[in-house]
Amino acid sequence: MKTVNPHINKVNPHIFRGYDLRGIVPDDLNEKTVRLIMKGFVTMLFEKQIKEVVVGRDNRNSSEEIEKYVIDELLKNGVDVYSIGKSLSQIVYWSQYHFLSKACIMVTASHNPKDYNGFKLGRSFSDTLESEEIKKLRSYVEKGNFKKYDRQAQFVKKDIFEDYKNDLLKRVTIDKKFKVVVEGSNTYSGEFVSQILEDTGCSVIRQNCEPNGNFPLGTPDPTENDVLERLSKRVLKEKADLGFTYDADGDRVGIVDDKGQSIWNDNLVSIFAQDVLYYEPGGTIVYNTLCSKQTADVIRSSGGNPLMWLTGHSFIKAKLKQEKAAFGGELSGHMFFVDNFYGHDDGAFASLRLLQYLSRTNQTLSETVAKMPKYVSSPEIKFGCADEIKFDFIKTKITKEFKNLFGKTASYIDIDGIRADTKDEMVIIRASQNGPYLTVKFEGKTQKKYNDLKKKIKAILKKYKEVDFSSGVNKDALD
């Protein structure tokens, strides 16, 4: 072991987020900063005596070059590398079991715009670093208190997609031959998941599944209305049973039903909860604070134990382990199966499990959704808000506004922004961990309650110059 002399390194602190690292290339992420981050990560691996890492990348234009810096720095610091090349986050997680490697690195910025990149870093099976570990990594990077191994590192390059695909397929039974549309948004997700679905016997219509790191159709975010509308049109045109879309690293899913309707992912959490509780009665289902009131309603009516928790894939995964839960899901499309899977988020496996459920229950997706409790819900709306102020803005101003608006008629949850629930309404505003913006979601039991709540929320947000209405996602949902 060698220790490098302490010094101060200048790295944009805002790249260190709640559960991963994301920044602009090359301003925030370049050869120098990537190598510093890898030295810090090796130091964290040294703490657990981990000497090998699985590395994969998404199809952003900068990912291959960043991956080269990552691999080179790991090898220089005595860490073995299993390189799987072009990949998805869940394939990287799965590869940990394949190679028996506790650590992993996925080069990705998920659904961020094309000029971003970043890392999902893990030093435990199926887990990625979360808040306190990210803070520790940042400290190591900035102070330069690095450690390395005195050993000759080994490099192994292997394509494991076939092994991964076969493992997924053996875990599901799909008796019906579905016709599905896959909207790839020019990511590797479209390429990989289409192959998996075809091997189940599905008739797959591929749309925009040719990888293009410029993302010519816009940000590959499966919660964006533009993406879902593009998918909906093709589902209706092809008279398909349903449609799937994914983000750039494949761990999140978006769904359109047989009638071309976008199915918000909290509805999907409710469906999966019913499925999992069919096999594991009384199980705990973890879901994030952005999910509909419907989610808890369905979990309880299905005999399960609902548990609301922090938004973020790392936080949900950690809570699943802590509670020995059966399943977890988020509005953003991260789905975590523990019953017969590894507990990490995998958009492809979530797609297979949905098809298995529809096959087992002999229902269409629209029929399934129609049977669940109804709320008129907004999509996940995002507005710009500077990283430096967003958390404090929620805590000091928005929380006060909510309590003035609802008073004692609501219950409040402040573990992740501020959420207010009345008998017939819900609204949450939180600061994103992934970028300089606020996330807003609301719902009402009736269209009138929804419309009234929308006006009130818009009036609150318009009062503050901290909210940038010129940037964001699904902004027209508040009009």
**Predicted pLDDT at 341:** 97
Q: What is the mean pLDDT of residues 237-262?
A: 97
Q: What six digits make up the tokens of 28?
A: 């925030």
**Catalytically active residues, by annotation:** 22, 110, 334
Instruction: Report percent pLDDT > 70 for the chain.
Output: 98
Q: How confident is the model at residue 195 (pLDDT cuts 50, 70, 90)?
A: very high
**Predicted pLDDT at 313:** 85
Asked whether residue 234 carries a pLDDT value surpassing 80, the answer given is: yes
**Least confident segment among 151-165, 232-246, 314-328:** 314-328
The CATH architecture one would assign to domain 376-478 is 2-Layer Sandwich (3.30)
* C-alpha span between 415 and 383 (Å, rounded): 20
Q: How far is CA 8 from CA 138, 140, 373, 415, in A?
A: 11, 10, 55, 33
SS (H, E, C) 167-231: HHHHCCCCCCCCEEEEECCCCHHHHHHHHHHHCCCCEEEEECCCCCCCCCCCCCCCCCHHHHHHH
Q: What is the mean pLDDT of residues 43-70?
A: 98
* C-alpha span between 296 and 270 (Å, rounded): 8
Asked whether residue 1 carries a pLDDT value surpassing 70, the answer given is: no
Q: What six digits make up the tokens of 361?
A: 């229950």
Q: What is the mean pLDDT of residues 238-250?
A: 98
Please give the residue that has the higher pLDDT: either 322 or 3.
Answer: 322
Give the torsion through C-alpha atoms of 155, 161, 162, 164, to 10 deg.
Answer: 100
Q: What six digits make up the tokens of 255?
A: 């769904």
Mean pLDDT of the chain: 95
Q: What is the mean pLDDT of residues 284-292?
A: 97
Asked whether residue 5 carries a pLDDT value surpassing 50, the answer given is: no
**Least confident segment among 1-10, 313-322, 384-393:** 1-10
Q: What six digits make up the tokens of 154?
A: 């080994």
> How would you class 372 by CB atoms within 10 Å of its CB: exposed for 0-12, middle for 13-18, buried for 19 or more?
middle
Q: How confident is the model at residue 4 (pLDDT cuts 50, 70, 90)?
A: very low
Q: What is the mean pLDDT of residues 170-184?
A: 97
Q: What six digits make up the tokens of 252?
A: 């999140």
183-201 CB burial, b ≥16 within 10 A, e <16: bbbbbbbbbbbbbbbeebe
Element (H, E) at 432: none
Element (H, E) at 63: helix 63-76
**Predicted pLDDT at 433:** 84
Asked whether residue 2 carries a pLDDT value surpassing 80, the answer given is: no
58-97 CB burial, b ≥16 within 10 A, e <16: bbbebbebbbebbbbbbeebbbbbbbbebbbbbbbbbbbe
Q: How far is CA 303 from CA 70, 106, 269, 323, 455, in A?
A: 47, 37, 15, 17, 36
Asked whether residue 207 carries a pLDDT value surpassing 50, the answer given is: yes
Are 327 and 302 spatial neighbours (Cβ–Cβ below 8 Å)?
A: no
**Predicted pLDDT at 219:** 92
**Predicted pLDDT at 403:** 96
> How crowded is the C-beta side of 332, counted as CA atoms within 13 Å?
26
Q: What is the mean pLDDT of residues 355-364?
A: 98
* C-alpha span between 107 and 255 (Å, rounded): 25
**Predicted pLDDT at 119:** 98
**Predicted pLDDT at 356:** 98
The CATH architecture one would assign to domain 162-262 is 3-Layer(aba) Sandwich (3.40)
Terminus-to-terminus CA distance in the chain, angstroms? 59
Q: Which fold has domain 265-345+361-370?
A: Alpha-D-Glucose-1,6-Bisphosphate; Chain A, domain 3 (3.40.120)
- Tens digits of residue pLDDT in 109-158: 998 999 999 999 999 999 999 889 999 999 999 999 899 999 999 999 99
| Residue 141 amino acid letter | V
**Least confident segment among 5-9, 14-18, 399-403:** 5-9
Are 184 and 190 spatial neighbours (Cβ–Cβ below 8 Å)?
A: yes
Domains 162-262 and 265-345+361-370 share a fold: yes
Are 19 and 11 spatial neighbours (Cβ–Cβ below 8 Å)?
A: no
| Superfamily per CATH, domain 2-159 | Alpha-D-Glucose-1,6-Bisphosphate, subunit A, domain 3 (3.40.120.10)
**Predicted pLDDT at 377:** 94
For the chain, domain boundaries: 2-159, 162-262, 265-345+361-370, 376-478
**Predicted pLDDT at 7:** 55
Q: How confident is the model at residue 222 (pLDDT cuts 50, 70, 90)?
A: very high
Are 54 and 103 spatial neighbours (Cβ–Cβ below 8 Å)?
A: yes
